């Protein structure tokens, strides 16, 4: 997880998004923190809808950020001299993408506070899409998927989130050409767990 500065910036940005009635949810490393898998990060990753872009652009400019890369699917912001850290927005444009936002929950974390966060199932789906789109970064994405699946399997993810929906994961993994990889991850988690029995006398 990041510093107190990151927590403050997250709060400022999300409050501005909420004031403008912009639907959003945390993804990336900060979402992992809400799942009980904290990882250091200096970046903020936010999922939202493409049609909010004009308002988002205005908000970020007002907060001292410059957009240095924009596509149909992403917008990446940084502040001058990197003072505030990088903010990445991922845009959804389809009904499936909007459904991920609809399933988000207002989650609580002791350090990060209350924020909208995507469900663990949808986090894994987005990771499989990332692997399909950019195989070069597959190693980190795979590590995140496996860690989250293991936590869910051992009931370590907070109860505020829905249980993992393996059928939904496999459906989208198949669409992204990643079904075999998904099946292998799920199989390995189950097999590893069944072999880690503790015996007592």
For CATH 3.30.460.40, the residue range(s) in the chain are: 1-118
User: In terms of Cα–Cα distance, which of 93, 102, 105, 144 is closest to 123?
Assistant: 144
pTM above 0.85, yes or no: yes
- pLDDT tens for 164-183 read 999 999 999 999 999 999 99
pLDDT in tens, 45-60: 999 999 999 999 999 9
**What pLDDT, on the 0 to 100 scale, is given for residue 192?**
60
**Residues ≥6 apart with Cβ < 8 Å to 3:** 42
Q: Could you tell me which CATH number the domain at 1-118 has?
A: 3.30.460.40
The model's pLDDT over 85-127, given as tens digits with 9 standing for 90+, comes to 899 999 999 999 999 999 999 999 988 999 999 999 999 999 9
Residue 101: CB partners within 8 Å, gap ≥ 6? 23, 24, 25, 47, 48, 49, 92, 118
């Amino acid at each position: 997880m990041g510093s107190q500065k990151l927590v403050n910036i997250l709060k400022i940005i999300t409050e501005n998004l909420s004031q403008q009635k912009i639907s959003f949810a945390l993804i990336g490393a900060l979402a992992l923190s809400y799942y009980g898998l904290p990882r250091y990060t200096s970046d903020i990753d936010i999922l939202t809808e493409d049609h909010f872009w004009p308002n988002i652009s205005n908000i970020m400019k007002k907060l001292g950020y410059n957009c240095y890369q924009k596509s149909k699917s992403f917008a990446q912001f940084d502040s001058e001299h990197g003072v505030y850290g990088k903010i990445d927005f991922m845009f959804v444009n389809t009904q499936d993408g909007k459904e991920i936002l609809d399933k988000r929950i207002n989650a609580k974390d002791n350090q990060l506070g209350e924020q909208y966060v995507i469900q663990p199932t949808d986090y894994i789906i987005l990771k499989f899409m990332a692997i399909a789109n950019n195989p070069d970064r597959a190693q980190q994405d795979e590590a995140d998927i496996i860690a989250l699946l293991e936590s869910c399997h051992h009931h370590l993810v907070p109860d505020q989130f829905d249980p993992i929906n393996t059928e939904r994961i496999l459906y989208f993994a198949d669409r992204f050409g990643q079904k075999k990889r998904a099946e292998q991850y799920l199989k390995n988690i189950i097999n590893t767990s069944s072999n880690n029995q503790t015996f007592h006398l």
